[in-house]
Structure 1
Amino acid sequence: MGIGPQGLDARLPGAQDVLEPFRTLMAQADTRIELARACLMIARDAYPELDMAYYLGQIERFGMRLRAQVGQRGVEEKVIALNEFMFGELGFAGNFDAYYDPRNSYLNEVIDRRTGIPISLSILYIELGRRIGLPLEGVSFPGHFLVRLRLRGGMLVLDAFAGGAPQSEDDLRERIERVVPKGAAGGIPLESLPLEQFLEPASHRQILARVLRNLKSIYRDADEPAQLLKVLNRILVVTPDASAELRDRGLLYQRLECWQPALADLAAYVERAPDAPDGEDVRLQLMALRAQCARMN
């Protein structure tokens, strides 16, 4: 598997200590969770020497420059100024050429390289917008993370991956039709579904879970078990009740020959989800794990 010494460290109980600051942050009320800080904590799994103070300061410096330009403009003018500043002056842009590069999901790399994917660019967009009084919110739209801004009498939906471009109703419905399978709405035609149900604001925990699940998919497909384990550890801090993530971590521990943690995770999974479709398969895995652990005693 080619895990290497750094990967082996991820198996050790002491490796959990790096999660303590993240757990402390996640224990706060959702609206008090600082998205940028949480994202930089996630990035430390790939960049252990990352200087969080530098990157948080960089965001503050961006915000100060933007505030100086915006002054007392109205809401629409602030959105235009934000787009011109972030995507014009600073040069941020969507990474169309290497969409699945994991660096697109790490906020330090997004800031350094001035490129990212919809959710990482949206997080920075939201952070900068709030510094000029724009109460921007993330939207876990199907297949493509977006940003919304409530206006008097309506809502503005923006795509940070496309330079903050406003999204029309036709744009949004076209996105839905591209990614939502026909028949998924119980026989209701997709064009009849109210857009509002797809435009609910994402909580900070939901945003972070989506960032982490993107990384999970990338590291799973790249067969990088050490990084995948770090991502799963953080997902389970953000969403501790996510049974499927607990199962996946247990199976990964089993692959890494970490028998006791694998046994604990998979036993907890079948207890939480006794009627899961894969329950019998997991119970068979548990029998094998118990036998393995017995041989080690």
Structure 2
Amino acid sequence: MDPRQACLACLAQDPPALFEAALWIAAEHEPQLPPEQAQRLFDSLAHQVAVALPLGIGDAERAQFLLRRLSELGFAEDDEYPLHPRAALLSQVLQRRHGQPLSLALIALEMARRNDITLVGVNFPGRFLLRVPGADHLLDPATGRRLYTRDCRDLLARQMGTNIELSAEHLRTASAAEMLQRLSRNLRQLHLTTGEPLAALKDAQRVLELGPPSASDHLARADLYHTLDCPQAERYDLERAMLLSDDAAEQMRLAQRLSEISVPPKALH
């Protein structure tokens, strides 16, 4: 099956097969690592976690124990610099046991689902987090550390600057599509960092397929088309970015850039 279509099919299930969808995203870049192989690796890992999970305690405690157990098994945030795409390719994260917080969170979410622990993702700016609904804290997917309101304010200040106030929007539960879209944005940036524009273009296109696009999403793809010398496609995305942008200064910059694009006339046949 085509990995992109398989990913979208997983997302369309009720409930969405989030973990499998993320594996198909990895397979789009690494066909030599099929999801079935990664699933077998995960099954073995899941058994090691399940046998250690305590019973008779609430989901908040079990979720934190699960994350700490994963940490004991070697799962940790990837601190490689510059960060390589393998930190966001779930098949490789399972093998290496190192990855971005979102990738670690996807593993924890699937582990929680299999063990009947209610755990959700939180699209926190700059760092993906987890939460048990109703709990008075969030959880760091890389360490299992509890983050209370003050901790979240401090984290937001480190990620976004001190002029941004913590709001309910920052703590909103992420849908499966939003998590996959964020994963795709991460991969887009990582592939750009490693000088792989064609791989980044796959991610940029997937971002637009997975949910409502933003002006920055279209602009990111326009930049890739510019790098790949595809002016017609670049023009399309710049026009879409202009329509979606509510920043007058940005609209002017985009208009200027559009005026500078030279699109060769179509050949007559």
- So what's the TM-score if we normalise by structure 1? 0.76
Displacement of 1:136 in angstroms is 0.6
8 A Cα contact 2:123 2:174, kept in partner: yes
Q: Which residue of 1 aligns with 2:233?
A: 261
Q: Which residue of 1 aligns with 2:218?
A: 246
Structure 1 stretch 113-122 or stretch 266-275: which is displaced more?
266-275
- Residues of 2 paired with 1:129 and 1:219: CA distance? 30
Deviations 1:152-191 (A, max 9, x none): xx434211222x1222333222212223333344xxxxxx
Shift in alpha-carbon separation, 1:276–1:229, aligned structure 2, 3 A: farther
Asked if residue 123 in structure 1 is aligned to residue 94 in structure 2, the reply is no
Structure 2 counterpart of 1:247, one-letter code:
L
Q: Which residue of 2 aligns with 1:293?
A: 264
Displacement of 1:243 in angstroms is 3.4
Q: Which residue of 2 aligns with 1:4?
A: none
- Residues of 2 paired with 1:280 and 1:125: CA distance? 44
Q: What is the root-mean-square deviation of aligned Cα atoms in Å?
A: 2.9
- Residues of 2 paired with 1:77 and 1:202: CA distance? 21
Displacement of 1:283 in angstroms is 4.4
8 A Cα contact 1:62 1:128, kept in partner: no
Structure 2 residue matching 1:147: 3-state secondary structure: strand
Higher CA-based Rg: 1
Structure 2 residue matching 1:108: 3-state secondary structure: helix
Q: Which residue of 2 aligns with 1:233?
A: 205
Deviations 1:193-223 (A, max 9, x none): 56x5532211112212222222222233333
Shift in alpha-carbon separation, 1:217–1:61, aligned structure 2, 3 A: same
Structure 1 stretch 133-142 or stretch 277-286: which is displaced more?
277-286
8 A Cα contact 2:222 2:238, kept in partner: yes
Q: 1:86 aligns with which of 66, 70, 73?
A: 70
Structure 2 residue matching 1:138: 3-state secondary structure: strand
Number of aligned pairs?
266
Q: Which residue of 2 aligns with 1:159?
A: 140
Residue correspondence of structure 1 range 1-297 to structure 2 within 5 A? 19-26=4-11, 28=12, 32-70=15-53, 72-75=55-58, 76-79=60-63, 81-88=65-72, 90-98=73-81, 100-151=83-134, 154-162=135-143, 164-185=144-165, 193=166, 196-270=168-242, 277-283=249-255, 285-286=257-258, 289=261, 292-294=263-265, 296-297=267-268
| % identical aligned pairs | 26
Structure 2 counterpart of 1:182, one-letter code:
T
Structure 2 counterpart of 1:39, one-letter code:
A
Larger RCO: 1 or 2 (CA < 8 Å, sep 6+)? 1
8 A Cα contact 2:7 2:20, kept in partner: no
Structure 1 stretch 280-289 or stretch 165-174: which is displaced more?
280-289
Structure 2 residue matching 1:127: 3-state secondary structure: helix
Shift in alpha-carbon separation, 1:37–1:170, aligned structure 2, 3 A: same
Structure 1: segments with no counterpart, 5+ residues:
1-16, 186-192
Deviations 1:55-93 (A, max 9, x none): 1233234334433443743225523541343122x3212
Structure 2: segments with no counterpart, 5+ residues:
none
- Residues of 2 paired with 1:197 and 1:207: CA distance? 15
